[in-house]
Structure 1
């Protein structure tokens, strides 16, 4: 086994020597500086040869389209740090329910507020007023509906019967329920409590909510929502 590893390393060294000769001056200098940095960081020769083998093949391929080592890997310091830290594990799967609900609630709330506000200006004031309680409920119920729908999105990798029909039914029921509750809140909650908001305020709330959605999606790395 040890002999096999030695032979493999020797073959890789020979291949690397041949690949080095194909580098441009700039890329060759980059690799020389990287080699010094990795030696200073006590990276074993075997590991260095393996790193260089992968990098050299990428560099030579990139040279054909004019790409340099710095463009592909960043500075020597950045590449050295990346190699020392090792590859970062990519986060996969769905985010927690509350994150998806937050993302969905902000989206639905923003859309509803913007549509209501803009329709007011188009309709000369009619439909531009939304109650404060209705607005708050819109964000909460909208988030819950998006969470419910996202949990029932058909899995492309599975062929479970009825999953698509279930998704359509739940999506339709969820959206209809959301619209019904919004309309009912405006109809049955007295304006003394459900204080009416003018169209301009609705638009402002919509813009802020949409900006908040984009911010939290990046900040919390929200995965598994609909949008």
Structure 2
């Protein structure tokens, strides 16, 4: 009986908090509610989560932050809640540098692996792996590109015309083109005497360390808001 009263009281408080949300944050909370209802999360838990989130949002609104900037996309936020539905903390979107680090480790390691595998499977003298400086740039620029893309992830739960698919396509295309341009220029203009190629085993070693670091740091810092 007390639990029912507690839920009703929470619902009453949430209605009052709702009145102070911006239109954009209202849409975010509506999308989250639909997702959590579809996942059959119990009402009491939903109301508890909404109460905490809306209080945080009201503080964030004072500095111009939106729910998406605070918690990531609706699907990300819902996934984080559903992974551990008894956790009182609603994970917020990680800082930009952590998201860039996570993305950079992913892309940098991926291309280090590709270079290593290419050298192993093509033993001809004309096959050269990515230069060391280009490889380092790949980690850095790749991270920035992934950060840009993460900021424009579309919200399928938003009203028609506000889902953001157009911005996402534009941001993704622009970030990838910029990344490819910088990598191409670095490989063409930086002298091979400086931008030295590495043996296959070293590329694969760098890839392995990079992937391991990504997994470790993602768990340690609970990185939320990246692409993968």
* TM-score over 0.5 for the pair: yes
Pair 1:138-2:142 in alignment: no
Contact 1:103 1:143 in 2 (8 A): yes
What is the distance in 1 between the residues matched to 2:204 and 2:128?
Answer: 9
- Structure 2 unmatched ranges of 5 or more: 6-85
Q: Distance in 1 between the 2:104 and 2:156 partners? A: 26
CA offsets 1:158-195 (integer angstroms, 9 cap, x no match): 13447101101211221222122112111100122212
User: Could you say which residue in structure 2 is the equivalent of 1:66?
Assistant: none
CA contact (8 A) 1:117 1:198 kept: yes
What count of residue pairs does the alignment treat as equivalent? 144
Cα distance in 1 between the residues matched to 2:88 and 2:128? 48
Evaluate the alpha carbon distance shift between residue 115 and residue 206 of structure 1 in structure 2; reply closer, same or farther with a 3 A threshold.
same
Aligned to 1:173: 174
Q: Which residue of 1 aligns with 2:223?
A: 222
Q: Which runs of 4 or more aligned residues in structure 1 lie more than 4 Å from their structure 2 counterparts after TM superposition?
A: 125-128
Deviations 1:104-141 (A, max 9, x none): 00000000100111112222255442211111100000
The 5-angstrom pairing of residues 151-170 of structure 1 reads 151-159=151-159, 160-161=161-162, 163-170=164-171
Q: Determine the C-alpha separation between the residues in 1 that align with 2:219 and 2:163.
A: 34
Supply the RMSD in Å over aligned alpha carbons. Answer: 2.1
How big is each residue's C-alpha offset from its partner over 1:57-91, in whole Å with a ceiling of 9 and x where there is no partner? xxxxxxxxxxxxxxxxxxxxxxxxxxxxxx75324
SS of residue paired to 2:152? coil
Is there any run of 5+ residues in structure 1 with no aligned partner, and where? Answer: 9-86
**Matching of residues 1-227 of structure 1 within 5 Å:** 88-125=87-124, 126-159=126-159, 160-161=161-162, 163-227=164-228
SS at 2:227 equivalent: coil
Structure number with larger C-alpha Rg = 1
Residue pair 1:116, 1:127 contacting (<8 A) in 2 also: no
Aligned-partner Cα distance in 2 for 1:200–1:180: 27
